[in-house]
Structure 1
Amino acid sequence: MTGDGDGRAGLPRIAVVGAGIFARTQYIPRLREIAHLVVLKAIWSRTQESAKAAAELARDFAPEIECKWGDAGLEEIIGDSSIMGVAVVLAGQVQVELSLKMLKAGKHVIQEKPASASTTEAETALSIYNSFPNQFPYKPIWALGENYRFEPAFVESSKLIKDIGDMMNIQVIIEGSMNSSNPYFNSSWRRNFVGGFVLDMGVHFIAGLRMLVGSEITSVSSISRHVDMALPPPDNICSLFQLENGCAGVFVFAVNSRYYGESMEQKEQFK
């Protein structure tokens, strides 16, 4: 494996597919922090201008970074055997398709949330992914970039909850404020995504809920509404759900609040 001339010859090489707000403000800074562990070899965008702008942000820790753009650029990343892993940081509508292309090429993938545009797409993609072991000497890893699973508070809370007692019921209440001051307010893919900001933001809290209670959701019934016409529908949702352990709970989420706050309560029956 060729090196960068700075003693990092043996490090794994990765590519970032996507050069939007999240890739520029989150992925590049985090990759800078772990530049001693991985080499950012390439970054891709739909346009040359966008790819070059993002690459310049990473030039200080990845001096030999390559700019890729368009269909030809994607094919170059897919065909580059030195790239072991790819971060897919694109619009939610196209992430699964791109992730599968990279996985089929034998590359490990970390894909940003949301995991898919629908349960049908997710089930189909998982079926394809599960067929890969017969095609490669190893199965490429497909990971979802859901950060709440790694938040120290959630990790520690999940340990403590197990020792408190029997769970009686759960209330999850989130009041989000998505307005013009938020950099994602005008994000076109989020506005055109089924579920809008409720889905885009809500997956974090569902991930946190599942981690804390240590039990999967088996049934759910919801009512959604569209109140703020400046936001895509729906902008608030009220749900009743049941866990596989029999416990019931409510999930209330609004993205049109004037202020931001959240409450995740779990009432326990102590023995």
Structure 2
Amino acid sequence: MAAPPQIAVVGAGIFVKTQYIPRLAEISHLLCLKYIWSRTQESARGAVELAKQHFPGVECKWGDQGLNDIIQDASILGAAVVLAGQAQVDISLKLLKGGKHVIQEKPAAASTTEIETALSSYKSICSNPGQPIWAVAENYRFEPAFVESKKLIADIGDMMNVQIIIEGSMNSSNPYFSSSWRRNFEGGFILDMGVHFIAGLRMMVGCEVTSVSAITSHIDTTLPPPDIISSNFKLENGCSGVFVMVVSSSSPKVIWRVVGMKGTVQVERGKQEGRHGYLVSLYSADGQCKSTFYPFCGVHEELKAFIHDILRATLKEGSGYEAEPRSSYVEGARDVAVLEAMLESGNKGGALVHVKKL
């Protein structure tokens, strides 16, 4: 048995404290968390205090020297980069250049221009087989609800229409409401939150969005613009659909619905027996409905897959290990490309915009 891989968490914000540390603790038998890094010593120490309950030996690192220490530490196989959207790509590339495998939080980048530059840099530093893995943490692709709904799509015949309705709850009671980087991010909460919902769409339908036409607006002035988007879109299989997103609603609702000739598959966020998750329903042509509830576990599953990948990649060093495709940086990039096209169309008053191919 190989020793559990040693990893670092680069970032010490809300999501690290509320999700990464608890989810890594659930798979602590599979890994060793050696470092948590932040820009400031105070922030790093705060996260380390939480993590020590599960990883007694974890150390804090901070600032440029701390990041360099992690890059230079040959015992570190991988790193989770959980930072402001504007900073993630540069830090990820530094770690990749240092030979570390990286799982970076979504969104993949702020724009497709940044993505193309980043992919070019990645290819130039990692041209050989066995290159470091660059994954994007998109937990929706690992939620059992979307894995199962993708299988159910085969039962509904030819696809006729797709509807995604997102009424979010990004108000002052949400811990991310005051996040300064999201407010200074092109596309704001629409891009940061929206990549999840596009990931769910692309996962379910199993094909790409080719073109969009969208109207954007700004109604809630406590949020950065735009805070509402209504878009028509076309899939490469010829099917059309609608994507509607309201960043903050007094009556939150999150739903995906794919209508076929022989039935409909619907995924709706909800709660059962005190657990949050998704209700997946298959409506058949004879009027029957079968529903199954799947509790949230995507972050757990994507981190477990990353640890599995970096261990296998290390054991097969030089032979070129194929990592989990759902985590690939390009998958995360394609989510961004769809939202970017919608936002561009909104800026052009609803003009048809083709989604950039990546």
TM-score range, shorter chain: over 0.9
Question: Once superposed, what is the RMSD of the aligned Cα atoms?
Answer: 1.5
Q: How many matched pairs?
A: 263
Partner of 1:186: 178
**Letter paired with 1:205:** F
Residues in 1 aligned to 2:175 and 2:212: alpha-carbon distance in whole angstroms: 32
**Letter paired with 1:235:** D
Residues in 1 aligned to 2:43 and 2:90: alpha-carbon distance in whole angstroms: 21
Partner of 2:167: 175
**Letter paired with 1:44:** W
Residues in 1 aligned to 2:255 and 2:106: alpha-carbon distance in whole angstroms: 22
**Letter paired with 2:83:** L
What SS does the corresponding residue of 1:126 show, helix, strand or coil? Answer: helix
Partner of 1:162: 154
TM-fit CA distance, 1:9: 8.6
Within the candidate set 170, 189, 193, 1:201 is matched to 193
TM-fit CA distance, 1:225: 0.6
Fraction of identical pairs, as percent: 69
**Letter paired with 1:226:** H
- Inter-CA distance 137–152: structure 2 relative to 1 (3 Å threshold): closer
Residues in 2 aligned to 1:245 and 1:76: alpha-carbon distance in whole angstroms: 49
Partner of 1:60: 53
Residues in 2 aligned to 1:30 and 1:263: alpha-carbon distance in whole angstroms: 25
Within the candidate set 240, 243, 248, 2:240 is matched to 248
What SS does the corresponding residue of 2:67 show, helix, strand or coil? Answer: helix
Partner of 1:31: 24
Which has the larger displacement, 98-107 or 206-215?
A: 98-107
Partner of 1:81: 74
Residues in 1 aligned to 2:254 and 2:29: alpha-carbon distance in whole angstroms: 36
Residues in 1 aligned to 2:55 and 2:165: alpha-carbon distance in whole angstroms: 42
**Letter paired with 1:270:** K
Does residue 104 of structure 2 align to residue 111 of structure 1? yes
- Inter-CA distance 9–130: structure 2 relative to 1 (3 Å threshold): closer
Partner of 1:268: 260
Alignment of 1:41-52 (within 5 A): 41-52=34-45
- Inter-CA distance 227–204: structure 2 relative to 1 (3 Å threshold): same
What SS does the corresponding residue of 1:41 show, helix, strand or coil? Answer: strand
Is the 8 Å Cα contact of residues 155 and 262 (structure 2) preserved in structure 1? no
Give the TM-score normalised by the residue count of structure 2: 0.71
**Letter paired with 2:171:** N
Partner of 2:88: 95
Deviations 1:210-232 (A, max 9, x none): 00000111111211111000001
**5+ long unaligned stretches in structure 1:** 1-7
Deviations 1:66-88 (A, max 9, x none): 11000110111111111000000
Does residue 1 of structure 2 align to residue 11 of structure 1? no
What SS does the corresponding residue of 2:29 show, helix, strand or coil? Answer: coil
**Letter paired with 1:211:** M
**Letter paired with 2:82:** V
Partner of 1:22: 15
Instruction: Give the ranges of 4+ consecutive aligned residues of structure 1 lying more than 3 Å apart after TM superposition.
Output: none
Partner of 1:153: 145
